[in-house]
Amino acid sequence: MSSKVSVIGAGNVGATCAQRVAQGGYADVVLLDIVNGMPQGKSVDMMHSHPVVGSISNITGTNNYEDTAGSDVVVITSGSARKPGMDRRDLAFTNAEVIKSVVPQVLEHSPDCVIIMVTNPLDTMAYLALKLSNLPKNRVMGMSGVLDTARFRAIIAAELDVSVEDVSACILGAHGDTMAPIPRLTTVGCVPITELLSKEEIDRLVDRAVHSGAEIVSLLKNGSAFYAPGVSAAQMAEAVVLDSKRILPVAAYLEGEFGLSGIYLGVPAKVGARGVEQILEFELTADEKVALGKSAQTVRDLVTDLDLS
């Protein structure tokens, strides 16, 4: 198989992503981790599932970056996950050191890859990866909106008792508590949810979507979400490998779009073989501009705190 996707970090998110990509059958997968035996064991287990699911993709577990050489896409999930009581800012300094180690090793062996950042706080970690790699901005993106909109869609579908397939959601901004959902552009079929639900009901659903990550952390006690983040990253990898030109909400580097520059934020984008091939900009209301501006400021503050600018 000519296409190759490497996943850095064989924890729950990385392993879920790797399995999803491999089961798609469009690329071979390398699963890398610093823990000896863990990626190897998980890759063997995944390969044993292939006769059941009918995949012919190969999965290699490794501790050696040389095995990732020639990757078309590299998904970075390495780093600490949130624990109860932690916010995304608490992760920043620890995970920045991880990304500083990972990115140069990735680029040494796969200089032409597209990087998909999953490590939190991912908008800031994507910015760090861009600065470390010196890659064109289109080849570094973050997994944010795919997950955030999936959560919002699932919550809306459950509330209205409709299929999630018929719910489309729009969320802009940082991946975290300051994300900016856009209810007027969130639809069931072709009908905006503002026509189906009261403002109070929408506010309640938005609040749950925004805090879904923290809800899961609180319920799990000693872990964080991984199924939805893993498959969300895999969907982005698929769009790149297959050059499918999917319109996906991703964390992309802005240079004037939505009135913002020099920052990674979640926006709708066309994703293909070159990564982020186009950002789809649209007019915001005054309130939406304020919400997006507040979200952007949280990312800028963290970039400043980490002395990345």
Cα separation, 155 vs 140, whole angstroms: 29
Amino acid identity for residue 176 in this structure: G
- The catalytically annotated residue of 48, 109, 175, 211 is 175
User: Which is it for the CA torsion 24, 25, 26, 30, positive or negative?
Assistant: positive
Amino acid identity for residue 239 in this structure: A
**Residue among 22, 26, 24 nearest 14 (CA):** 22
**Residue among 146, 200, 201, 198 nearest 168 (CA):** 146
Q: Are 18 and 40 in contact (CB under 8 A)?
A: no
Active site residue 211: no
- Looking at the chain, the number of H-run helices and the number of E-run strands are 9, 14
Q: Are 142 and 124 in contact (CB under 8 A)?
A: no
State phi, psi for 167 to the nearest 5 degrees: -105, 125
CB-based contacts of 81, cutoff 8 Å, min separation 6: 11, 13, 120, 223, 224
Q: Which residues pair with 115 in a beta bridge?
A: 74, 140
Quick one: DSSP state of residue 10?
-
Query: Cα-atom radius of gyration of the chain, to the nearest Å?
Result: 19
- Which positions are catalytic? 175
